[in-house]
């Protein structure tokens, strides 16, 4: 059996929506982008949503809108996705890192506070795998040190904390609609904020820094970060599917939990903090001898990701910027034992049972006593 790691749900409705958009005579950024923004703003619970061509651009826009630039430091989690680091570098700012929490893999607020220097301007937190960070702690640190907080909810749409949705925390937030995400526009992203002035700036930056009142007059350094109406048309259909997409992932994660519940120390299961509704973009586990386990999964047709295997200070693109011997012990340990298992709407129970059995065998556990769990 072959089981992919992710698989988008793209059906007749998406095809129809694309065809209708092509026939409508308006395919660039237009009415569908506006409608998509309004739908997402209302879902996430923010005043303003700005649709863009991908999540990386959305992070770049946040930094530009907040006025972060040359030699300013921005603190990210040491086990983070490269996109945030690149957005920081694109703005000539400096990548700084803090270690992560050993159970949620989110940025550790205590370590953030230790890493603050006079140059620090912002914290760019990632809601790891779909679980919202502790923004009470991060915002308190930001207030004490006069910093901005950017919530990278690229993989957290649908997650929440005490009923507040991912994408609504911090001064600005983003999400991604990349094809592997829970809902997709194929490529796409969105900036979220409660702040009207930041939203105004974000819209200008997205559109070549152009003065909304005067064509070819450019008031800010921007870029072409626009989303097309074709992408937004797909996004609107996907948004309608979102509750079902989230529900199936949640159920699959519960089945994984049950399938591994008896394994104790052999597998560290995902930890969900109190009052969190997890967005379940990833189902991350920690195992011993990860590379061997991964090789066995591959040999048996089970696809997986290691998200992410190389902490940012060890990435070849950044290693020279960190003194030899720089350590982020938790991030390094987690990155060396991590595996993220297949999770997608169309995964059948049979496929998932096969993944569970394959993982159990790979970590040296006995097959599941099927009747007890299934
Ligand atoms: C945490 C995080 N931030 C940013 C991004 C970048 O999003 P995109 O691929 O849409 O540029 C991703 C994409 O996987 C991500 O996982």
Q: 246 and 230 in one domain? A: no
pLDDT in tens, 255-273: 999 999 999 999 999 999 9
Q: Tell whether the torsion through CA atoms of 8, 11, 14 and 19 is positive or negative.
A: positive
Q: 258 and 230 in one domain? A: no
**Mean pLDDT taken over the chain:** 97
| Residue 260, in any domain of the structure | yes
Q: Quick check: 371 pLDDT over 90?
A: no
| Residue 2, in any domain of the structure | no
Q: 203 and 310 in one domain? A: no
- Ligand 1 pocket: which of 154, 189, 231, 307 to mutate (most atoms <8 Å of CB)? 154
Q: 365 and 221 in one domain? A: no
Atom 8 of ligand 1: nearest residue by CA position: 55
Instruction: Look at residues 157, 340, 148, 362 and name the one whose alpha carbon lies nearest to residue 243.
Output: 157
| Residue 200, in any domain of the structure | yes
pLDDT in tens, 304-358: 999 999 999 999 999 999 999 999 999 999 999 999 999 999 999 999 999 999 9
Domain boundary among 236, 260, 280: 236
Q: 251 and 190 in one domain? A: no
Q: Quick check: 373 pLDDT over 70?
A: no
Q: How confident is the model at residue 117 (pLDDT cuts 50, 70, 90)?
A: very high
Range of the domain at 317: 242-373
| Residue 4, in any domain of the structure | no
Q: Quick check: 370 pLDDT over 70?
A: no
How far is the centre of ligand 1, averaged over its atoms, from the C-alpha of 58 (Å)?
9
Q: 84 and 225 in one domain? A: yes
How far is the centre of ligand 1, averaged over its atoms, from the C-alpha of 57 (Å)?
9
Residue entry with tokens 């990701």: 305
| Residue 73: CATH number of its domain | 3.40.640.10
| Residue 315, in any domain of the structure | yes
How far is the centre of ligand 1, averaged over its atoms, from the C-alpha of 188 (Å)?
10
Instruction: Look at residues 161, 227, 221, 164 and name the one whose alpha carbon lies nearest to residue 191.
Output: 227
How far is the centre of ligand 1, averaged over its atoms, from the C-alpha of 147 (Å)?
23
Q: 218 and 102 in one domain? A: yes
Q: 219 and 192 in one domain? A: yes
**CB neighbour list of residue 205: distance below 8 Å, 6 or more residues apart:** 61, 64, 65, 220, 221, 222, 223, 225
- For residue 346 the two structure tokens come to 């169309």
Domain boundary among 178, 205, 236: 236
Q: 140 and 114 in one domain? A: yes
Atom 15 of ligand 1: nearest residue by CA position: 154
| Residue 7, in any domain of the structure | no
Domain boundary among 193, 216, 236: 236
pLDDT in tens, 154-176: 999 999 999 999 999 999 999 99
**Number of domains, the chain:** 2
How far is the centre of ligand 1, averaged over its atoms, from the C-alpha of 370 (Å)?
37
Q: What is the pLDDT of residue 366?
A: 84
Instruction: Look at residues 139, 146, 232 and name the one whose alpha carbon lies nearest to residue 194.
Output: 139
Q: For residues 213-236, b (16+ Cβ closer than 10 Å) or e, as one string?
A: eeeeeeeeebbebbbbbbbbbbbb
| Residue 142, in any domain of the structure | yes
Q: Tell whether the torsion through CA atoms of 61, 64, 68 and 69 is positive or negative.
A: positive
Which atom number of ligand 1 is nearest to the Cα of residue 180? Answer: 14
- Ligand 1 pocket: which of 178, 187, 189 to mutate (most atoms <8 Å of CB)? 178
Q: 258 and 199 in one domain? A: no
Atom 10 of ligand 1: nearest residue by CA position: 55
Q: 195 and 254 in one domain? A: no
Task: Give the CA angle between residues 227, 231, 235 to the nearest 5°.
Answer: 115
DSSP state of 5: S
How far is the centre of ligand 1, averaged over its atoms, from the C-alpha of 87 (Å)?
11
How far is the centre of ligand 1, averaged over its atoms, from the C-alpha of 334 (Å)?
20
How far is the centre of ligand 1, averaged over its atoms, from the C-alpha of 153 (Å)?
9
- For residue 195 the two structure tokens come to 């702040």
How far is the centre of ligand 1, averaged over its atoms, from the C-alpha of 354 (Å)?
29
| Residue 344: CATH number of its domain | 3.90.1150.10
Beta carbons of 201 and 220 less than 8 angstroms apart: yes
Q: Give ligand 1 pocket residues (Cβ under 6 A).
A: 54-56, 81, 83-84, 126, 152, 154-155, 176, 178, 189
- pTM, two decimal places: 0.97
pLDDT in tens, 180-218: 999 999 999 999 999 999 999 999 999 999 999 999 999
Q: 283 and 182 in one domain? A: no
Strands 276-277 and 160-161: antiparallel
| Residue 17, in any domain of the structure | yes
Beta carbons of 363 and 266 less than 8 angstroms apart: yes
- Ligand 1 pocket: which of 133, 176, 279, 311 to mutate (most atoms <8 Å of CB)? 176
């Amino acid at each position: 059996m072959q089981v992919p790691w992710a698989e988008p749900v793209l059906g007749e409705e998406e095809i129809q929506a694309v065809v209708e958009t092509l026939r409508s005579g308006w395919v660039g950024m237009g009415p569908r982008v506006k409608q998509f923004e309004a739908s997402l703003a209302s879902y996430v619970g923010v005043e303003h949503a700005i649709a863009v061509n991908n999540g990386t651009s959305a992070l770049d826009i946040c930094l530009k809108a907040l006025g972060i630039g040359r030699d300013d430091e921005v603190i990210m989690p040491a086990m983070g996705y490269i996109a945030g680091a690149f957005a920081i570098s694109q703005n000539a700012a400096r990548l700084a890192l803090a270690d992560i929490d050993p159970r949620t893999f989110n940025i550790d607020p205590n370590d953030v506070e230790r890493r603050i220097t006079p140059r620090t301007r912002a914290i760019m937190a990632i809601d790891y795998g779909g679980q919202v960070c502790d923004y009470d702690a991060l915002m308190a640190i930001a207030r004490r040190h006069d910093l901005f907080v950017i919530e990278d909810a690229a993989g957290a749409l649908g997650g929440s904390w005490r009923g507040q949705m991912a994408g609504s925390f911090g001064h600005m937030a983003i999400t991604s609609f990349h094809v592997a995400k829970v809902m997709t526009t194929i490529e796409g992203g969105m900036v979220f904020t409660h702040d009207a002035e930041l939203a105004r700036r974000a819209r200008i930056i997205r559109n070549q820094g152009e003065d909304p009142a005067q064509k070819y007059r450019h008031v800010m350094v921007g870029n072409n970060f626009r989303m097309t109406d074709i992408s937004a048309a797909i996004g609107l259909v996907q948004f309608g599917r979102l509750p079902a997409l989230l529900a199936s992932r949640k159920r699959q994660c519960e089945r994984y939990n049950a399938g591994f519940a008896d394994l104790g120390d052999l597998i560290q299961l995902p930890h969900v903090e109190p009052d969190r509704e997890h967005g379940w973009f990833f189902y991350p586990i920690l195992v011993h001898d990860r590379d061997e386990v991964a090789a066995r999964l591959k040999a048996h047709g089970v696809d997986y990701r290691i998200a992410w295997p190389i902490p940012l200070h060890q990435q070849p693109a950044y290693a020279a910027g960190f003194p030899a011997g720089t350590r982020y012990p938790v991030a390094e340990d987690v990155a060396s034992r991590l595996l993220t298992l297949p999770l997608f709407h169309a995964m059948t129970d049979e496929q998932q049972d096969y993944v569970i059995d394959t993982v159990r065998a790979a970590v040296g556990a006995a097959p599941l006593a099927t009747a007890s769990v299934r």
